[in-house]
Amino acid sequence: MNLPQTFKLLFYPLIVLTLSWVHYFSTNSLRVDFNPIEPFSLRVVCFIMLVVSYILYYYQIYKVIFDGIRPNLSYRKLAYFYVVVGFFTLPIFSNDFFSLLTYSDSFLNGYSIYTAFDADTQSQFGIFVNPIYSQVNCKYGPVNVLLMSIPILIGSKNFVLIFWISKFIFLLFTILYVEAVLHFMENYDNRFLIAALIPVWFIQGLGQFHNDIVGVSLIAWGYLLLLKDKLLPSILLLSIAALSKFTFLVFLGVPFLYQMERNYLLSLKVLFKLGILITTVFCLLGILFYYPFVQNLSEILAPFKVMNEGIPSSTFADLTAYLMSFFNHSLLGNFAITMPMFRVIGLCFFVFLAFVYLLNYKNENSHRVFILSVFSVLILVYSHRFLPWYLMVMPLFIVLPNRSDWAKWLFWISFWSMFQDFAIMLDTTNIYGQIVMALSVVFTVLLFFYKIRARFFNY
């Protein structure tokens, strides 16, 4: 066994696991926001260890993915090593899991989480929620809220039991993701290994409890079934994924794109029938999953209202507002300008990308190029918020024969965006954490332009 190579591939996840427990024992709490490791000198040492292990890891997976240097450890063993480490990793970068748990608890206590949420008065887990979000109505899909209701119903007031049952639920969906990716690699293209090695799924998904792993695992299997011509089961899984996280609605378009590409046709009759099928399945599942939560139709749209509000994060709207603040001191006023401005720019991008796609839809893998283009514009231009785990779904569509532009874009944007979380661990209330966060945001946003002409227009 090549010890240096294996060391580089395993060291980073083990460091994250170790530091998560250091954080817990240092603070005596699982809360992340405004609860840094103490003393500050220990926090700096932890940060340095984290960054060094992270760079070593990315250096090694670059060689594996792009230089074809195969690791001595099998991909299956490697993936399941990451699964085991992720399972025992505690929250260290994000409180989002506790927000989801609080919404589920509030729902079980009889409150309307989509229109009248208050973490402090409606849930036993309110103490873990960032005060900024304690009265922000739920923007998670009903599928994820119902899933997190299971550990609460089983564990009752036993927080330790609730926590580990929640981990087990996330573990099941992570295994689904891993098996789908391994199936892609074994039966379609070995270059799908980027989906196995990019750490966003085991660090952000299972490790940090980001519920994207639920929807992403469903999209993985939905896409796999689509490639096997099992259309109805595919639509079922893609619809449930969209009801777990609303930005995944985009992927309901994949069956349309795939059918157009494979059949070399743009038949309105065929697409209409497919549209009726997808709409019917999605609406029926929507009624099923939304039924426990809503009393009127306005509540269905409430999450979209929340998603369009709030402070921008790591997008063009965010960066532009801060640049404008050099000329004025009204950051909130700048946000009021940049958020709608980039929504319009994003819409223009969508229209232009659709036009380019219609000129190229008969080309092989055109569905992948288009869905990657649309989703990247959605999360970085149209939306005012981008967070590293939003990238979790993209490796499933990144494999394009005879080209590596999208794969290298994903590699670099996932690398730089992760420093946002490292800044949180360092603590963004001090200048060092703020510098790391600012650099991460700048690199993340500017990477949108990385090989943009080739990525968007090379079909």
Half-sphere exposure of residue 439, counting CA atoms within 13 Å on the CB side? Answer: 12
Q: What are phi and psi of 422, to 5 degrees?
A: -65, -35
Kindly report whether the global pTM for this prediction surpasses the value 0.85.
yes
Confidence of residue 157 (pLDDT cuts 50, 70, 90): confident
Amino acid in the structure at residue 34: F
pLDDT digit string (tens) for 338-347? 999 999 999 9
pLDDT digit string (tens) for 10-57? 999 999 999 999 999 999 999 998 899 999 999 999 999 999 999 999
End-to-end C-alpha distance for the chain, whole angstroms: 40
Confidence of residue 82 (pLDDT cuts 50, 70, 90): very high
Residue 2 has pLDDT above 70, yes or no: no
pLDDT of residue 1: 44
Tokens of 361: 């839809």
Average pLDDT on 79-87 reads: 97
Query: Can you name the residues that pair with 385 across neighbouring β-strands?
Result: 313
Cβ neighbours, 10 Å, residue 323:
11
> When comparing pLDDT for 263 and 353, which is higher?
353
pLDDT of residue 181: 96
Please, are residues 240 and 285 in contact by the beta-carbon 8 Å criterion? Answer: yes
Residue 301 has pLDDT above 80, yes or no: no
Distance separating alpha carbons of residues 73 and 75, to the nearest angstrom: 6
Please, are residues 382 and 391 in contact by the beta-carbon 8 Å criterion? Answer: no
SS3 146: helix
pLDDT of residue 156: 87
Average pLDDT on 75-97 reads: 95
Tokens of 336: 């009021």
> When comparing pLDDT for 210 and 307, which is higher?
210
Distance separating alpha carbons of residues 417 and 177, to the nearest angstrom: 22
pLDDT digit string (tens) for 114-133? 989 999 999 999 999 988 88
Residue 107 has pLDDT above 60, yes or no: yes
Residue 348 has pLDDT above 80, yes or no: yes
pLDDT digit string (tens) for 184-243? 988 877 778 899 999 999 999 999 999 999 999 999 999 999 999 999 999 999 999 999
Tokens of 253: 């378009």
pLDDT of residue 179: 97
Distance separating alpha carbons of residues 145 and 247, to the nearest angstrom: 16
Residue 171 has pLDDT above 90, yes or no: yes
Average pLDDT on 443-447 reads: 96
